[in-house]
């Protein structure tokens, strides 16, 4: 359990980091581009 928990935690952390970073990048790009 511990091993898989750690693997999934890292997986989802990376996934959500990439998703949110891309989302915010797009948002800020649109905002600043006006």
Give the start-to-end residue ranges of the domains of the chain.
1-34
Output the furthest CA–CA distance in the chain (Å, rounded): 49
Count of residues in the chain: 34
Within 1-34, residue ranges assigned H as helices are 2-33
Question: Tell me, what's the pLDDT at 1?
Answer: 52
Question: Tell me, what's the pLDDT at 30?
Answer: 83
Q: How far is CA 3 from the centre of its chain?
A: 22
Question: Tell me, what's the pLDDT at 34?
Answer: 58
Q: What is the CA radius of gyration of the chain?
A: 15
Question: Tell me, what's the pLDDT at 18?
Answer: 85
Question: Tell me, what's the pLDDT at 2?
Answer: 62
Q: How far apart are CA 14 and CA 19, in angstroms?
A: 9
Structure tokens, 18 = 């990439």
Predicted confidence (pLDDT) per residue in 1-34, tens digit: 566 777 888 888 888 888 888 888 888 888 887 5
């Amino acid at each position: 359990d511990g091993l898989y928990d750690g693997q999934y935690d890292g997986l989802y952390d990376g996934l959500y980091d990439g998703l949110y970073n891309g989302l915010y990048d797009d948002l800020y790009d649109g905002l600043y581009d006006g």
